[in-house]
Amino acid sequence: MTDTATERLVLASSSPRRRVLMTRAGYHFDVVEPPIDEPIAAVRLLTPVQQAEALAYFKARAVSELCPSRRVLGADTVVAAGTRVLGKPADADHAREMLRGVSGTRHAVITGVALLDGDLKRMIAAEVTYVTMRQMTEREIADYVASGEWIGKAGAYAIQETADRFVDAIEGSFTNIVGLPMELVGRMIRQLDRHEDGTAR
């Protein structure tokens, strides 16, 4: 990780989980929350991966316009359960509906990542992790919703908190489920550094 990468980095996210992951990985960064509502309606016809990537780009682009001389990292996580794409629940009833939808399923957690460096340098990618969740009882769903852990979480659960007790198996990146695939982020930053150093084309 170079000084250039750390000194100029801005995390375009309001997620405390992403801030923790970035800090633990050793990055130095500022946080600027995207000044836009997520344009869900504009991306509904896209595939789940395309939706996550598009939303990540919208967030990063909005912050990049405020910080044109900085490197900006944006991310967005969705859950794909069958043909349904689940973002963040709007309220407790919505959270209960989402939990019923993922209970007893093998579903995909998808995080789109966008890394922007000025107007000319742009990288967009996504990480997909599969989660197998055991069947939850209605009492378990009710208790989990009452705990409030679902708030602000794609798919209405947070595996890094107490929802891990509902998970039977994970295939792929654990940090992706938390909210930011750090392996992918590291690769993207290193690749952009190599391009800026002139060592890659």
What are 63's two structure tokens?
A: 């912050």
Q: What is the dihedral of CA 80, 133, 125, 187, to 10 degrees?
A: 180
- Distance from C-alpha of 69 to C-alpha of 87, rounded to nearest angstrom: 31
Residue type present at position 113: V
How many Cα neighbours within 13 Å face the side chain of 181? 25
- Contact indicator for 155, 86 with CB cutoff of 8 Å: yes
Between the two ends of the chain, the Cα-to-Cα distance in Å is: 19
Q: What are phi and psi for residue 20, nearest 5 degrees?
A: -65, -45
Q: Which of the residues 76, 119, 143, 164 is marked catalytic?
A: 76
SS3 170: strand
Query: What's the distance, CA 89 to chain centroid?
Result: 15
30 is catalytic: no
What are 49's two structure tokens?
A: 């991966």
What are 123's two structure tokens?
A: 């990288």
**Active-site amino acid positions:** 76
